[in-house]
Amino acid sequence: MFLRVLFPFSNTLKNRQRLLLSVVWFSLSFHVFVLVSSKPLAVACGSSGGKDEDGRNWEPDQKFLKTSGSTTQLQADYQDPSLLTIIPYMNARIFTSPATYRFPIKSKEQYLVRFHFYPSAYPNFNISNSFFSVTAGGLTLMNNFSAEITCKALTQAYLVREYSLAPSDSEFLNVTFTPSTKYTNSFAFVNGIELISMPNLFGETTVVGYDSSDLDVSSENFQTMFRLNVGGQFIPPSNDSGGLLRSWYNDDPYIFGSANGIHTEANKHVRINYEQLSRSSAPEDVYRTAREMGLDCDLNLKFNLTWLFQVDANFTYIVRLHFCEFKYDMANQRVFNIYINNQSAQSDPTPADIFAWTGGMGIPTYRDYAISVNDGTGDEMIRIQMSPSTESKPQYYDSLLNGIEIFKLNDENKNLAGSNPQPSSMLLEAGNEPPKSFEPKSNHSFVIAGAAGGVAAAFVVVALAFLAYRERKRGGFDSHTSSWLPLGNSHATKSNSSNASALVQGLSRRFSISEIRQATRNFDDSNVIGVGGFGKVYKGVIEGGTKVAVKRSNPSSEQGINEFETEVGMLSKLRHKHLVSLIGFCEDGGEMCLVYDYMALGTFREHLYNNKKPHLSWKQRLEICIGAARGLHYLHTGAKYTIIHRDVKTTNILLDEKWVAKVSDFGLSKTGPGMSQGHISTMVKGSFGYLDPEYFRRQQLTEKSDVYSFGVVLFEALCARPVLNPSLPKEQVSLADWALLCHKNGTLEDISDPHLKGKIDQACLQKFTDTAVKCLSDQGIERPNMGDVLWNLEFALQLQESSDTAGGSIERDTPASRDSDERSQRQGNSSQGSDIELNEELNNQDDIFSQLFHPQGR
């Protein structure tokens, strides 16, 4: 009966597959009723428990601990700003000898186990010494595991590891932590453990590369490697289905190549019908969103939509693909081939036809494929590819995917442990010191490496703290491709399929590598002026004596072609007085370099604090902020597309020899919302301390995220202190939070730069801080746009100038006179689009101000 209902159109399917599907169907429907038979358990290790930010209750761990050895409960010294919740991360249970937790479980049930690790500084323990193994129910989950190294390689502050354990006969689950004996002072630790009973979602699996061979994995153990909501948003644990509290990530970072298809979403009236599938398999949001190849069928025939994942070698993986056809209502309309690691998983003569599989629109299903990944260069990857089937002659040449999960299958030794990832050489080179935040200075305070070293040092800190909102790759992270820009282009193309020259023809100059070598004295280290997302930055002189800054991609990293393309493509189209201009590029001899105008006076930050440079006057600071606001405003509105900078901070505001502020570093920039969407969804990027909390929560990027960061910049200019200073009392650590608090309290003046005492006009300060506070509004929608910000800052400057004039204490130290500034704006070339209109608007405003404040005229 099922077969009739399920497979009205499935003539093309092999009998074996039909049978297999119905087996899966039975096992799933059976387990629906078993679901939620026992409550999920969440244990906060080393603490007395409590509620996390989601309101979930975490129990103390003492009663589960069955050990004779010594254990210690400790509180982390430092709360990383990316920790969104104190429980369970801020407390840890530390084991110096083997120790076991014993959890009551129901026999014959499958369990999901999650471990939470926050490798921070704990009093009297050096986290670098922590190597340990974890076993559960006779299975090795981790071995010689270093949470610190793993987090460092992933550039994230904390780590979640998830396993599904096969049903057992036991009424207890023993989880044993064993510190490594190979290291002195080694210890094990854990911050939180979750235990959730789940329906057994595993069964028969097609083995890729072996025709007609199936594998029954229903009684195996797995580690979750990846879980992605393809073409959709991040789904937090609270929105998962079946009470399994899983996180589903966006798949953008895993798309390989430039052809990345298009996002698509089910029409509102399409109902997702779970009748063939357990609700636990995936939440509705996964099935309502998908990625397609595109609208141009001829183009679709020419490429594979490709995802790439790094995994541990010598394991078999189960690749689960979730499908739900919500657009077409007949079989043989959308039929496509699926390849995994270049082998056919589901391709002609048995291609994927979702409608034929499910027999209806809005009916979700999934398929499991087993693939073994062996050791060998470049082999530690899983590559999923899709292209339209041609043999079946479908109506539309397109493919569709809604979700991906990748599970690692335990090997024959009951082992799931891989080796620790290796932080990329770039990361090691740039930060041969450990992240400062982990290094105790005194018992309870930490230093973030100050911006003393200028761009380089500041960037290192920022990069190490670089957003790692959640674990992106839970398991295997392969050394040679781990990336300096961890959340974005970790799988940048290795070949030189890119052709940047086509992007920039006629827009920028192409340099040969010998010209670049000459300019930078063969990349002499003494010429290094910074380290950026793309690689090292060198000072250089090209012929004619023009000083330039050369960004060189790290040749050993094989990284960055994507970033390179982004920067070249983006920058060459952008010309603006307040943006750092690209002079040219070099793609030659295996090198990729970008050549920029040299900014003689360095970063805005180095003129604000932690440096011996003379203090900037208030008016100078205002003018720099105004310049930067102009640059950002142009990015948001002036170019053809909205461009969101994504990493606005004082080290990305550079100053030329005339003190003109220029916004730099578009390595992270993405083209902003199209006409309809209003936001782009993406993995969170940016720098701690500047990061828009809304972006953080929802992973939706709008230009208002830049406005938030700019608000932080404004306070940094006023207060001349780092945006994050963990050595201060808790409420003062984050400048944004502290400034808002002081603003509420009316004590902002107390925290502003002492060098500005008595020099700021009250009305000007009021205007300035009001603007900054509005920029920091929690909701993007409440924040002003950059045009408004610019207007208000101009206003504040007028207030300051008129007060200076009236008070007789005219500041003559203005680096670049505003008049000349305005003039050169007007002279700017016509490609500046709306920026010019804006300036005209502002000039009119200036006239009004002039009449108000300078009755004698200017």
Ligand X SMILES: *[C@@H]1O[C@H](CO)[C@@H](O)[C@H](O)[C@H]1NC(C)=O
Which residues bind to ligand X, rule: CB under 6 A? 66, 100, 102, 126, 128-129, 131, 144, 146, 149, 170, 172, 174, 182, 235-236, 239, 302-304, 313-314, 339, 341-342, 375, 378-379, 383, 385, 387, 420, 439-440, 442-444, 495-496, 499, 501-502, 698, 741-742, 745, 747
Cβ neighbourhood burial of 267 (10 Å; 0-12, 13-18, 19+): exposed
The two three-digit tokens of residue 178, written as one number: 């064993």
**Closest residue by Cα to residue 774 from 766, 782, 764:** 782
User: Cis omega before residue 40 (within 30°)?
Assistant: no
What is the nearest approach in angstroms of ligand X to the Cβ of residue 606? 28
User: Cis omega before residue 88 (within 30°)?
Assistant: yes
Q: Which is nearer to ligand X, 699 or 832 (by Cβ)?
A: 699
Q: Which residues are annotated as a binding site for ATP?
A: 551
What is the nearest approach in angstroms of ligand X to the Cβ of residue 496? 4
CA dist 193 and 195 (Å) reads: 7
Report in angstroms the alpha-carbon separations of 799 from 331, 789, 804. 69, 15, 9
Q: Which is nearer to ligand X, 73 or 170 (by Cβ)?
A: 170
* Residues with Cβ within 8 Å of residue 3, at least 6 apart in sequence: 18, 22
The two three-digit tokens of residue 685, written as one number: 């990027």
CA dist 23 and 223 (Å) reads: 24
Residue spans of beta strands (DSSP E) within 437-527: 509-510
Burial 694-726 (b: 16+ CB within 10 A, else e): bbbebbbbbbbbbbbbbbbbbbbbbbbbbbbbb
What is the nearest approach in angstroms of ligand X to the Cβ of residue 313? 4
With beta carbons less than 8 A apart as the criterion, state whether 179 and 142 touch.
Answer: no
Which residue, judged by CB position, is nearest to ligand X in the bound state?
Answer: 420
Q: Which is nearer to ligand X, 235 or 361 (by Cβ)?
A: 235
CA dist 454 and 468 (Å) reads: 24
Q: Which is nearer to ligand X, 378 or 614 (by Cβ)?
A: 378
What is the nearest approach in angstroms of ligand X to the Cβ of residue 37? 20
Q: Which residues are annotated as a binding site?
A: 551
With beta carbons less than 8 A apart as the criterion, state whether 464 and 431 touch.
Answer: yes
Active-site hit among 77, 312, 647, 656? 647
Q: Which is nearer to ligand X, 690 or 738 (by Cβ)?
A: 738
What is the nearest approach in angstroms of ligand X to the Cβ of residue 303? 6
The two three-digit tokens of residue 93, written as one number: 């249970």
The two three-digit tokens of residue 49, written as one number: 């428990």
Which residues share a beta bridge with 385?
Answer: 306, 339
Strand pairing report for 192-198 and 110-117: antiparallel
**Closest residue by Cα to residue 263 from 245, 303, 281, 290:** 290
What is the nearest approach in angstroms of ligand X to the Cβ of residue 128? 4
Q: Which is nearer to ligand X, 50 or 236 (by Cβ)?
A: 236
With beta carbons less than 8 A apart as the criterion, state whether 389 and 335 touch.
Answer: yes
CA dist 156 and 119 (Å) reads: 10
Written in H, E and C, the secondary structure of 279-321 is HHHCCHHHHHEEEECCCCHHHHCCCCEEEEEECCCCEEEEEEE
With beta carbons less than 8 A apart as the criterion, state whether 322 and 402 touch.
Answer: yes
Instruction: Provide the H-helix boundaries in 385-526.
Output: 425-430, 455-464, 500-504, 513-519
With beta carbons less than 8 A apart as the criterion, state whether 161 and 474 touch.
Answer: yes
* Residues with Cβ within 8 Å of residue 697, at least 6 apart in sequence: none
What is the nearest approach in angstroms of ligand X to the Cβ of residue 745? 4
Place of tokens 């290796």: 422
Cβ neighbourhood burial of 124 (10 Å; 0-12, 13-18, 19+): exposed
DSSP of 764-828, one letter per residue?
Answer: HHHHHHHHHHHHT-SSGGGSPPHHHHHHHHHHHHHHHHHHHHHHT------SS-HHHHHHHHHHS
State the distance between the two ends of the chain, measured CA to CA, in whole angstroms: 88
* Residues with Cβ within 8 Å of residue 26, at least 6 apart in sequence: none
CA dist 749 and 780 (Å) reads: 26
CA dist 410 and 100 (Å) reads: 21
CA dist 720 and 451 (Å) reads: 12
CA dist 482 and 772 (Å) reads: 37
Question: Residue 588 catalytic?
Answer: no
Residues taking part in catalysis: 647
